[in-house]
Amino acid sequence: MTKAMTGARMVVQALKDQGVDVVFGYPGGAVLPIYDEIFQQNDIRHILVRHEQGAVHMAEGYARSTGKVGVALVTSGPGATNAVTGLTDALLDSIPIVVLSGQVPTFMIGTDGFQEADTVGITRPCTKMNWLVKDTAKLSGTIHEAFHVARSGRPGPVLVDIPKDVQFAQAEYTPMQRARTAHYQPRLKGDIEAITAMVEMLETAERPIFYTGGGVINSGVAASQLLREFVEATGFPITSTLMGLGAYPASGKSWLGMLGMHGLYEANLAMHGCDLMINVGARFDDRITGRLKDFSPNSRKVHIDIDPSSINKVIRVDVPIIGDVGHVLEDALRIWKARGRKVNKDGLAKWWKQIKEWQSVNCLDYKPSEKTIKPQYALQRLEALTKGMDRYVTTEVGQHQMWAAQFLGFEAPNRWMTSGGLGTMGYGLPASIGVQVAHPEALVINVAGEASWLMNMQEMGTAMQFRAPVKQFILNNERLGMVRQWQELLHGERYSHSWSESLPDFVKLAEAFGCKGLKVSDPRDLDDAIMEMIRYDGPVIFDCLVEKHENCFPMIPSGKPHNEMLLGEADTQGVIGAKGAVLV
């Protein structure tokens, strides 16, 4: 038998029933009844953020690193509008979060009341689904439905807008088992005929490749394990998008590295030259495809995705398979084994010989310096000194993000949190706090650029208040690095507003927050400083002064195909065809 309770208590009870253990939020008038209920219980921990954008990014970091749904709680008006960037970020990267927002009382909606905004209208384009709940009797059921939608199918953000009078009123609580969820049951099992067709293609392919994305990680740890088994059993090469790093181990013998605009030479040329492309949980993003008409022109393409709208949206494929990655890979492995585990061994041997030639180019090579810290060197040392630790990495957005993806290795899923689709500067610091809250004993490092980091630097106060020992590893080139690089290469070296001036002293800033600050400019001091950062039992702001005008290579110039990459400074007047690239 259910009992009557206030809407505010319903919110807290629904969160408990959903297994929520932490909420990231910021109070305000329209959510005070909910905050009062939070105060009167001890099962759910509340993390007080300094800005609502930070709350949503923390929920994203928590969700991405745990596989659970992240939760943020914000007030009406500016509280809700401040959450929009985080919601859009989560939508593009398929991160399951629930945002609960307060709203003015129902009788004031539409009157331009104090701190009123059309939250449902504003957030409709940047959520998977949203609701304005005007009836307390429907509140708990709606929250349960919201969690179901957020985590089911292609994950994503949802929002529930709750007027203040609905929080005060009483009604009967709807338990999870009675909530309305039957209407949203995405297809999990792929079509067996299509899966069999894929298996037949991989049995004969001469130049196959697995192209994987964040959908593998979203499907769960079992999907990553199945992917690894499939790759090892077939001997096929594998590459990944920025969002898919860690689904296959970086130390694996079939790993080609990340592909795309700043992906590895061998990965991009393998994608261009393959005759069978098996897309597993990726969406043919423009940063991956380059010029569409020249994207992998001679390959047959298979696309496995749980979201039907992603199929044939950008690239037409030969075999579409709608379903959950884990279920599809399980069926594909079973069918392939039953048919005799066949692959084209001769073709595969020649394909790997070609790939080894591309790998010998050593596309991540750079000119070291004894006087200045190169950003690549900083990340190489960070990787060497933290490899094997219980480590999670978040990033901001820019050159440092791409260097981190190139030089840091991930052996497991859910260890790499970055803003892929939206490219949100200011994501990394709050996301790192969300990860640290979820994994209090782990080493959590945010690789940042000084410009991105400043966008949400106020969240260091959150880190200090809640004793989250996040390490902020800032590659400080005193520039908007990626903007400056594009201006150098594509805009005639006209550096329009891409230099960061009036930067703070990051060590003094750290001291002002009450945490530890470190500053390094000499390569000889780097290792000791990194170890000091790691060993310090608390938040750290690490100011690593790096080469100011270093460019991030490899790079596919805007509008070019995969096989026209810039490998270094000598290439900036032309493309790699001049360097003897073998195009197949």
| Nearest one of 74, 94, 96, 71 to 84, comparing CA atoms | 74
What is the C-alpha separation between 270 and 180, in angstroms, rounded?
Answer: 46
In contact, 104 and 115? CB cutoff 8 Å? yes
Contact criterion met (CB below 8 Å) for 556 and 488: no
Residue with the two structure tokens 């609502």: 52
Catalytic residue among 24, 37, 52, 455: 52
The active-site residue, picked from 16, 41, 114, 548, is 114
Contact 101, 162 (CB under 8 A): yes
Question: Does the annotation count 531 as an active-site position?
Answer: no
Q: What are phi and psi of 550, to 5 degrees?
A: -75, 135
Give DSSP secondary structure letters for 305-316. ES-GGGTTSSS-
Is the CB of residue 550 less than 8 Å from the CB of residue 374? Answer: yes
Task: Please report, for the chain, how many H helices and E strands are present, in that order.
Answer: 23, 20
482 part of the active site = yes
8 Å CB contact between 325 and 216: yes
What is the amino acid identity at position 509?
L
Given phi > 0 = left and psi -120 to 50 = alpha, else beta, which region is 542? beta
User: Which residues, in sequence order, are CB contacts of 129 under 8 Å at separation 6+?
Assistant: 146, 149, 158
Please name the residue ranges forming H helices in 109-178. Answer: 119-123, 139-151, 164-168
Catalytically annotated residue among 402, 482, 555, 565: 482
Q: Is 3 a catalytic residue?
A: no
As a whole number of angstroms, the distance between CA 373 and CA 12 comes to 50
Is residue 186 within 8 Å of 125, Cβ to Cβ?
no
CA distances from 433 to 24, 269, 294, 472 (A): 10, 37, 41, 10
Q: What is d(CA 42, CA 138) in angstroms, rounded to the nearest whole number?
A: 25
Measured in Å, how far apart are the chain's first and last C-alpha atoms? 68
Sign of CA dihedral 350, 356, 361, 363: positive
Give catalytic status of residue 114 as yes or no: yes
Cβ atoms of residues 143 and 10 within 8 Å = yes
- The residue behind tokens 């550096």 is 495
- Neighbouring-strand partners of residue 118: none
Is 164 a known active-site residue? yes
Determine the Cα–Cα distance for residues 122 and 119; give it in Å rounded to an integer: 5
Which of 164, 301, 374, 516 is an active site residue?
164
- Could you give the residue numbers annotated as active site? 52, 114-115, 164, 482
